Amino acid sequence: MAIQPRTLKGFRDTLPQDMKPRRAMLQTIEGTFARHGFAPLDTPALEYAEILTGKYGDEGDKLLYRFADHGERQVALRYDLTVPLARVVAQHRGALPSPLRRYHIASVWRADKPQRGRFREFMQCDVDIVGATGPLADAEVLSTGLSVLADLGVTGACIHLNHRGLLSALLSHAGIAEPRMQLHALRAVDKWDKVGEPGVRRELAKIDDLPAGAPDRLLQALETVADTPEATLDALEALLGEVTAIDRLREVLALLAAAGHAGGVTIDPTIARGLDYYTGVIYETRLTDAKVANMGAVMSGGRYDELIGMFGKEQVPAVGISLGLDRLLAALRELGLVAEASQGADAFVTVFNAAGRLDAMAVAAELRAAGVATEVATLEGKLGKQFKRADRRGCKVALVVGPDDRDAGQVVVKDLRRGAQHKVARGELAAAVSDILRQG
């Protein structure tokens, strides 16, 4: 009985036509990270379960892929790239520079409900600064994230910026002071983008012994919005009085403006992510086009000054931002911003006949040495069929070396996009093909 070919729910194969734009995005992202002074770091896909559990809250723990390995050790697939980084810093503190500026691009796994643009295995692209407490570190990771989006050609993206200290001040203003109630209230606020104000109100109503009028005061304060981020902070300060977190947000906004990113940020008091380890600034980045408005955050992060201390005696400050490659690629594809990629190389060398196989291999080697991605026709046959195959695979140039061409020391070069063809001397072949490719 034949085995049915199928993939697990929430997982998917990535075919060549999808891999090429994906790889192009990764190349751009990694280049931007490196240009901003971040160095690569990698960690294992599997961690001891105790490293990951208790870091993402009860709901996050339920989404961990965890199991006993062959040695009966409790292990888990990494849920994100932040907790493994915290483990690395605690484990290799003496061997790492301080501050550490690292980037990490790798897959993570979550047993979440699959939906549009969200899979159970997906790739994250992170940058973090470890060992710096000031607003410059906050602004640097945010600036890097915004630069990545700009380098990818993304427009209509906005970072929704908040601070855990501001959330605490808003809760106190609403009369919610007891730690247990604050945690439950924050978990309710964290669902704002999914359920809106009515849904958050219903969640708040479920909290036992919440002071009378607290939900109304909290919801009204959370919806404090003005024309500019700076004006929003002024309005919040008028409501709450002096709050250290508001001063910190002002500094971050000023630093981002100095870096040329003034228009890419808004203050959003409803952002309440990472309740179990974020301690300072927190943020989510959303695309504003209506077609993908419900796609969710494509880039997020925050400051986590106490997470690394969970793995040792030393508290080490850290801040980072994470871009979800697969969700962003899915959104850009829906917006028509991802060019259809070819499945083949740029150049396609045909095989005229059995005697021409040596010529085909020699021409391909010459082009490859010149940096031209080249495919040799491994399915031989009539030249017309070979041309059609090259065109279907997205190749831009086809080359033919017939018996007469071989004797004359030349190659027939066919521009598959324009239909023109001409003969080129072997010594000029690489330059001629490269010129056609440069014409686009």
Q: Tell me whether residue 339 is in a domain.
A: no
- Give per-residue pLDDT as tens, 219-236: 999 999 999 999 999 999
CATH of the domain at 138: 3.30.930.10
Same domain, 306 and 355: no
Asked if residue 116 is part of any domain, the answer here is yes
Q: What percent of the chain has pLDDT over 70?
A: 98
How sure is the predictor about 342, in pLDDT bands with cuts at 50, 70 and 90? low
Cβ atoms of residues 146 and 252 within 8 Å: no
pLDDT of residue 319: 98
Query: Do the domain assignments include residue 2?
Result: no
Q: How many domains does the chain have?
A: 2
* Pick from 173-177, 190-194, 287-291, 308-312: least confident: 287-291
Q: Which domain holds residue 423?
A: 347-438
pLDDT tens-place string over residues 190-199: 999 889 999 9
In a domain, 1, yes or no: no
| Per-residue pLDDT, 343 | 67
Q: Which pLDDT belongs to residue 124?
A: 96
Tokens of 220: 């009204």
pLDDT band at 292; cut points 50, 70, 90: confident
Out of 283, 311, 334, a domain closes at: 334
Mean pLDDT value of segment 296-308: 94
Mean pLDDT, range 17-45, rounded to an integer:
94
164: closest CA among 68, 301, 272? 272
**Whole-number pLDDT of residue 290:** 77
374/237 same-domain check = no
**Position 236 in a domain:** yes
Domain boundary among 284, 305, 334: 334
346-395 pLDDT, tens per residue? 999 999 999 999 999 999 999 999 999 999 999 999 999 999 999 998 89
Do 373 and 319 fall within a single domain?
no
Same domain for 130 and 100: yes
Does one domain contain both 66 and 192?
yes
* Range from 32-41, 42-51, 322-331 carrying the lowest mean pLDDT: 322-331
100 and 141 co-located in one domain: yes
Q: Is 334 a residue whose pLDDT tops 90?
A: no
Judged by average pLDDT, the poorest of 249-258, 323-332, 413-422 is 323-332
In a domain, 271, yes or no: yes
19 or 374, which is more confident? 374
Tokens read off for 170: 């808003």
Determine the pLDDT at residue 118.
78
Mean pLDDT for the stretch of residues 79-106: 96
Say yes or no: 171 and 278 in one domain. Answer: yes
Give yes or no: residues 101 and 177 share one domain.
yes
Q: Are residues 278 and 205 in the same domain?
A: yes
171 and 107 share one domain: yes
The pLDDT-based confidence of 52 (bands split at 50, 70, 90) is very high
Q: Which two tokens stand for residue 206?
A: 């479920």
Query: 319 and 281 in contact (C-beta within 8 Å)?
Result: yes
* pLDDT of the residue at 344: 75
pLDDT over 70 at 287, yes or no: yes
Residue-wise pLDDT for 122-174, tens only, equals 999 999 999 999 999 999 999 999 999 999 888 888 999 999 999 999 999 99
Domain annotation covers residue 10? no
Q: What is the pLDDT of residue 194?
A: 85
Phi, psi of 427 (to 5 degrees): -70, -15
Say what the pLDDT of residue 149 is.
92
- Whether 13 shows a pLDDT value over 80: the answer reads yes
Q: Hey, what amino acid is at 141? A: V
Do 89 and 161 belong to one domain? yes
pLDDT tens-place string over residues 241-269? 999 999 999 999 999 999 999 889 999 99
The pLDDT assigned to 27 comes to 95
pLDDT at 17 over 90: no
* Residue 179, in any domain of the structure: yes
**Residues 392, 393, 399, CA angle at the centre, nearest 5°?**
95
Mean pLDDT rounded to a whole number for the chain: 93
CATH label of the domain that carries residue 358:
3.40.50.800
pLDDT score at 73: 97
Tell which of 334, 367, 397 closes a domain.
Answer: 334
Residues 320, 212, single domain; the answer is yes
